């Protein structure tokens, strides 16, 4: 029986993970659950899965969660709070597998805690790798942890690599990695069109059901940029050997090209339960509940170049990867602030890339060899992004559509 902790349990990845787990009660036991502040959602999951522990990141919600669980006759469930609560769950001796699905930089500490504790980590929190890739890999090595990516693109690459791959592409004859992107809701838009798009348009992804922040990242291609950085750390290839192509059908999730001319691809429906089931059961395979892919009904697959000119966030991510050091952490922090400003009407869609570029130019490179140093860089970049967002507002007469 594999005992699983799901961090980010009420989000889209957490919900899909629990759906797969529920299909295999003979294999998996939900040991712990964690969420940001969704008390009602977390309580419903507790009633269904009966975990031993729960954690709520927002400490102000802990008392309400405890009260709700008592009302459900579940006072025996231990309630933890804050980032420390998530860290405790991630490193608990009673947990075998940690699903790291907390969105954004908030998931870094618990992911590191799971790595240091030697857990099997199903990694959906790409920001942890982007901010502190070297730190996370070192913690995993020292703790003998196993990291299996849950992002559909990185999981696809994982499936196409040789068994036991150890971040040595040349030894395995790997020429390059190709990440696929749907193109998002604004595929084919030029800059004048992008200047007037709204947040509600940006969160309507044509293929995937995702949270608002990651949906905006997909629309700007920043999500793909973060995935390029993540692929570098997970698989050991430099920026010039990691490509991005737009594939609007979202059925080929990524490819690996080998020196002999072979290209291996992983295909499947646009449903996160496929990579989740693969990661949960690896090296075995289990039913995910996903509908089978009917190639005859698909008919044709299309690929096109990513538009780095109009969607500049992707190019900024490549620049951060090439710069090394703290640049990726700065990029990630600035992006989180800028996306929040866009979602709340304080920044235009094109302003996201403008703010990120200004912050990357302003924040001085510094050491990121410890969690404290990474968080310090993150805080500085966020503060600077707030300043740049305010400057942008002062230049645009208060309208996000100009």
Give me 171's structure tokens.
């030894």
Range(s) within the chain of domains with CATH label 1.10.1740.10: 166-268+306-395
Mean pLDDT for the chain overall: 94
Q: Return the pLDDT at 394.
A: 82
* Nearest residue to 340 (alpha-carbon basis) of 170, 164, 214: 214
Q: Return the pLDDT at 366.
A: 79
> What's the pLDDT tens digit per position in 169-217?
999 999 999 999 999 999 999 999 999 999 999 998 877 667 888 899 9
- In SS3 terms, 246-290 reads as ECCCCCEEEEEEECCCCEEEEECCCCCHHHHHHHHHCCCCCCCCC
> What's the pLDDT tens digit per position in 2-60?
999 999 999 999 999 999 999 999 999 999 999 999 999 999 999 999 999 999 999 99
Range(s) within the chain of domains with CATH label 3.40.50.720: 2-150
* Contacting residues for 215 by C-beta, under 8 A, at least 6 apart: 202, 203, 204, 205
Q: Return the pLDDT at 397.
A: 57
Say whether pLDDT at 401 is over 80.
no
Q: Which CATH architecture has domain 2-150?
A: 3-Layer(aba) Sandwich (3.40)
> What's the pLDDT tens digit per position in 235-264?
999 999 999 999 999 999 999 999 999 999
Q: Return the pLDDT at 348.
A: 96
Give me 182's structure tokens.
């749907």
pTM for this model (two decimals) = 0.92
Q: Return the pLDDT at 400.
A: 45
Mean pLDDT over 279-306 rounds to: 96
CATH class of the 166-268+306-395 domain in this structure: mainly alpha
């Amino acid at each position: 029986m594999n005992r699983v902790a799901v961090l980010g349990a009420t989000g889209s990845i957490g919900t899909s993970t629990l759906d797969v787990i529920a299909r295999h009660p003979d294999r998996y036991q939900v040991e712990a659950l964690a969420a940001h502040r969704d008390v009602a959602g977390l309580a419903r999951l507790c009633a269904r899965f009966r975990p031993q522990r729960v954690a709520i990141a927002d400490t102000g919600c802990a008392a309400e969660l405890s009260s709700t669980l008592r009302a459900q006759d579940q006072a025996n469930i231990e309630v933890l709070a804050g980032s420390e609560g998530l860290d405790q769950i991630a490193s608990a001796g009673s947990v075998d597998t940690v699903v790291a699905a907390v969105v954004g930089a908030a998931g870094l500490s618990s992911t590191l805690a799971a790595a240091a504790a030697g857990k099997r980590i199903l990694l959906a929190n790409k920001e942890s790798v982007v901010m502190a890739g070297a730190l996370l890999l070192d913690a995993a090595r020292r703790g003998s942890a196993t990291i299996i990516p849950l992002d559909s693109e990185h999981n696809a690459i994982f499936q196409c690599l040789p068994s036991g791959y150890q971040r040595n592409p040349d030894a395995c004859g790997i020429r390059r990695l190709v990440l696929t992107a749907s193109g998002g809701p604004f595929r084919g838009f030029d800059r004048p069109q992008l200047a007037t798009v709204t947040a509600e348009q940006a969160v309507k992804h044509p293929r995937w059901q995702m949270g608002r922040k990651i949906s905006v990242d997909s629309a700007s291609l920043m999500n793909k940029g973060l995935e390029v950085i993540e692929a570098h750390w997970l698989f050991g290839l430099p920026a010039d050997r990691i490509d991005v192509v737009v594939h609007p059908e979202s059925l080929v999730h990524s490819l690996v090209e080998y020196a002999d001319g072979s290209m291996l691809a992983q295909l499947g429906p646009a449903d996160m339960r496929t990579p989740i089931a693969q990661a949960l059961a690896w090296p075995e395979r289990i039913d995910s509940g996903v509908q089978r892919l009917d190639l005859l009904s698909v008919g044709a697959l299309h690929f096109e170049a990513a538009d780095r000119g109009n969607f500049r966030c992707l190019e900024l991510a490549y620049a951060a990867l090439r710069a090394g050091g703290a640049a990726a952490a700065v990029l990630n922090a600035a992006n989180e602030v800028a996306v929040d400003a866009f979602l709340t009407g304080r920044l235009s869609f094109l302003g996201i890339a403008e703010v990120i570029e200004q912050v990357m130019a302003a924040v001085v490179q510094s050491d990121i060899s410890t969690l404290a140093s990474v968080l310090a860089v993150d805080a500085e970049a966020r503060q600077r992004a707030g300043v740049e967002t305010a400057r942008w507002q002062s230049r645009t007469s208060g309208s996000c559509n100009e």
